[in-house]
Amino acid sequence: MKVALAQLNYIPGDIPFNSAKIISAINSARTKGAELIVFSELAVTGYPPLDLLLRTDIISASMAAIDEIASHCTGIAAIVGGPSPNTGNFGKTLHNSAFFINDGKVRTVISKALLPTYDIFDEDRYFQPGTEFRTVDLNGEKLAVTICEDIWDEQPFGDRGVWRLYGVTPLDEVMKDDPSLIINIAANPFSHSRLRVRDEVFARNAREYGKPLISVNQTGGYTELIFDGSSVLIDADGTVLERLAFCSEEVRIVETPVTGSDRRQYSCPPSYPDDMTGLVHQALVTGIRDFFEKGGLKRAVIGLSGGIDSAVVLALAAEALGPSNTLALLMPSVYSSEHSVTDSEEMARKLGVPYHIVSIEEARQVLEKTVKPFFGDKAPDITEENIQARLRALVLMAFANKLGKMVLNTSNKSEAATGYGTLYGDMIGGLSILGDIYKTEVYRLAREINSQREIIPEAIIAKLPSAELRPDQLDTDSLPPYEILDPILLRYIDLERSARQITEEGFNHDLVEKVIRLVHTSEFKRRQAPPVLRVSSKAFGSGRRIPIIGKYR
């Protein structure tokens, strides 16, 4: 059977756009001889549609789109993801479904049985789990159609090992019909630490049931989520035969079942690299580009400080949006070093990005003079430092408002975790680019950006990190060196280990306690931060829900 894997980039809620894209792929695949075309989970609405699913007009439009899509399925069958009404007598009003369409009609509706509620997922809020397990028939073949989590009933969870999350295994039930092919329609967001896990889960299912497996994932940026595509065809022995493009749309036709001689036609792509920095780079560019394109935005403005974080964000933005759509503002004060300005100018010229130098020194002096009578004899402290950061935010927002641009945030995950950032200052922006990238990872990302040619001047990469808000300031005045801090943060935030567990790994007890205390007391800042592009399995945002006020270790 010739099957087209349709890995597409949708817009949540834009049902006319999504359905037109689906119909175009159906028509194209038919002309190329495909018997079946498979789309991703909730393709009609885009994933995740969130509370749009609570709107009756959205659901009505989605069901009408399914009927329109079905009218184009002549000479080719399709499996399309979308919400479907729950016709039962209880539960949520919707199912997360796969519509099997053939000969111009919806023939079968398969509903997702396993609804994830961990990390960024909250499907139980909207959907009633499916309870019927059956195959669909096409040209004499029986197909086991599953939806994303339905084949993730067992998965690895860090220190907890492989965990069985559900009391039912859908494929155990479907296999009673002896299908020839497992099809999984998915919406798997990118996470550099989960790519291999994903392939392992697919391969394990193929081997366990002795059937080839197809999984079709969506691609593109969806606010903070980035979907990498990477749809696969896996042989019955667990071998990855085909993998579609990373962070790019593609429709590819494969043929199943795969015999020994047929395997020669497949690329059998290599496993993912040990160093995922290159993929993170691609994912961040995708996230920026789609945030702007899907949001009807075109131009960004970035505060370029002469430090590595803003330099990396500028390079990524210029790549995603184009240099002419990316404006850099250099905003020195008396505490800014001369090389911070000259290094920033050099980088802007290398990229061909327009830039302005807007000194905040005069405004700093005026504001400090204005408030000084009210502060009495109190010595200068973080108050005066934060005034500078907030003045820079004011300038950035003025340019954004006047010129129709969006400010991109440049804070990294280490800073966000420890609260090393000024609320309403350097934490402003419509989108956080590096908020899921630890500082030590930012340096690797800078090297990756420079791998083809030097974009970020070496002087920026080599200099010691500093906010330059007071004379001779360094980040290490307030924080441990990042090569020590980041491993502690990774263990506490991403791996969810306790202070005791981290200390037992050889880290200084007092330092671990200090770092964790900083994480706790900064939660209120993160609640007010912009959405963070997610590239790990534990980003700040909807996937990490921690009380602002609480006592815990």
One-letter identity of residue 401? N
Give the tokens for residue 298. 């075109």
Largest Cα–Cα distance of the chain, in whole Å? Answer: 87
CA distance 447 to 333: 29
Q: Edge-to-edge strands of the sheet including 300-303?
A: 355-357, 326-330, 300-303, 406-409, 431-432
One-letter identity of residue 348? A
User: Which of the residues 112, 294, 413, 538 is marked catalytic?
Assistant: 112
Closest to 490 measured CA to CA, from 515, 465, 467: 515
CA distance 299 to 136: 47
Task: With residue 520 as reference, give the H or E element that holds it.
Answer: helix 509-521
74 in Cβ contact with 29 (< 8 Å): no
CA distance 526 to 531: 10
464 in Cβ contact with 479 (< 8 Å): no
Q: Cite the DSSP H helix spans in 453-498.
A: 458-462, 482-489
User: Which of the residues 21, 35, 41, 415 is marked catalytic?
Assistant: 41
82 in Cβ contact with 97 (< 8 Å): yes
Identify whether 112 is a catalytic site residue. Answer: yes
CA distance 541 to 522: 13
CA distance 370 to 355: 30
User: Which of the residues 123, 148, 415, 439 is marked catalytic?
Assistant: 148
CA distance 408 to 401: 13
Q: What are residue 78's DSSP bridge partners?
A: 37, 101
CA distance 327 to 405: 9
Q: Which residues are catalytic?
A: 41, 112, 148
